[in-house]
A and B are shown apart, each in its own frame.
Chain A
Amino acid sequence: MLELENVHKYFGSLHVLKGVSFEVRKGEVVVVIGRSGSGKSTILRCINGLEPIQQGRIEVEGELVDAHSKRVRHIREKVGFVFQSFNLFPYYTALENVSLALKIVKKNPVADAQRIAKEMLGRVGLSDKLDAYPDRLSGGQQQRVAIARALAMSPDLMLFDEVTSALDPELVGEVLKVMQDLAEGGMTMIVVTHEMGFARAVGDRVLFFDEGEIAEQGTPEQIFNHPQHEHLRTFIQSIL
């Protein structure tokens, strides 16, 4: 479903991704961990073309991701992205936030778009907040709306970029629950996170990013209980 091969990326002269390669199968939940600056958020942004790569290949369901071409929009319709800072549109209600892209990108008729949006907001547990503006919602609620917004596009792949890092601790749980339900429903997901409990419970595979490369990968059991790489060991110790 998703294939990365020998991806290199530079920010100016800074080499942030050094030959990253991995595959993701349909229905898999891949968790990405690592220090800040290790490249884990960057790789996610390269997959949906928000950042261009200088070398290597990224393919989503056989289609090449080229951040500079106009066809990258088709990729984005298939790949949902949830941001750390939610990025809801401030002057639209929750319902409008979720239905906007359905109307203008997928060209759904208004009635269908609203129906789907209501359904998605119901799935994330916010049926009572349809007409609320983002500034009236808590962080956790805003993030759930953001997830609903991405889900409404019926993506084949969902990318989560540290989506709970900006939340107060008591709000983290509600978002993780939504993500867990999604995973159990068979969604293909790549989740960059610091939440190790989530990684253990929901992840099929864990990738440890270190200085722009995948230093180690394996099942949660392997990574957390039998870390091999020296940096991974110190990382696990500092987290737990």
Chain B
Amino acid sequence: MPEIFTAFTYKDVLFLLQGALVTIALCAMAISCGLPFALVIGLMRTAKRLRFLRWPAAVYVEIFRGTPLLMQLFIAYFGLSIIGLNLPRFVAVSMPLILYTGAYMGEFVRAGIEATHRGQREAGLSLGMTQYQLLRYVVAPTAVRVMIPPSVGFLVQLVKGTSLAYVVGYIELTRAGYIVSQSTYATMLVFTLVGAIYFGICYPLSLASQRLEFRLRRHA
């Protein structure tokens, strides 16, 4: 195959930006489906009446935090096609990301729930609240505020994690960069640009996470 190297043009930049959009779309999918899932996991981890729910959730979290995201992607992606499910590639790539998000954010939910001091729960109980009312009015305000800084920090992790979709050939920002770099002279320029785009997405999120954590520590 004759190697046709072309110059790096604005069309390539557009291609990269499309990749960036795909990256953001993957994250949005992971968060929107992963968050309710994380709530379930977090509640399971702190269940008081139905204690037997605790360990499955704990095992799930251990597995997803103790294995490489790359492997999770491989297994989920190829595993799905084995079961015979032919899902659109976007969904197939999103699924392991959703499970990954569920595990990490599930831990944040758990930390949020446990952040409510026992005393406040007792105060709520002493006022005659039901378990549900306790959860909604006493635990939730504190839990949500405690959850937000690490969740924003996790977003950064997620954005970086989408780069692994490269490995299954899915075209997001990193794969787009690779494709462009293979067909132009400007490899280093391309990857610098790719890095800069990732940085542009992640750095504001990192800053926000730090700021939120600072504000939280002052309030309570």
Contact = CB atoms under 8 A, between A and B. Distances in A.
Do any CB atoms of chain A lie under 8 A from CB atoms of chain B in the complex? yes
A116 interface: no
B141 A101 contact: no
A100 B126 CA distance: 13
B125 A76 contact: yes
B219 interface: yes
Contacts of A81: 122-123, 126
A110 to B, nearest CB: 14
A153 interface: yes
The range of chain A's interface size is 20 to 34
Nearest to A48: B126
Interface stretch (A2-10, A83-91, A167-175, A216-224): A83-91
Q: Most chain-A CB neighbours within 10 Å: which of B119, B120, B126?
A: B126
Interface in B184-220: 219-220
The range of chain B's interface size is 20 to 34
A34 interface: no
Contact of B142 (A79, A85, A90): A90
Given A90-B220, A105-B133, A153 B127 contact: yes
B89 interface: no
A113 to B, nearest CB: 12
A105 B122 contact: no
A91 B141 contact: yes
Contacts of B142: 90-91
Contacts of B137: 89, 100, 104
Interface of B: 117, 119-120, 122-130, 133, 137-138, 141-142, 145, 219-220
The 9 closest A-B pairs by CB, nearest first: A101-B127, A87-B119, A87-B123, A81-B126, A91-B141, A77-B128, A76-B128, A105-B128, A73-B128
Given A76-B127, A76-B128, A91-B141, 15 more contacts: A73-B129, A77-B127, A81-B122, A85-B119, A88-B120, A89-B124, A89-B138, A89-B141, A90-B220, A100-B127, A101-B124, A101-B128, A135-B220, A149-B123, A149-B127
Interface of A: 48, 50, 73-74, 76-77, 79-81, 83, 85-92, 100-101, 104-106, 135, 146, 149-150, 153
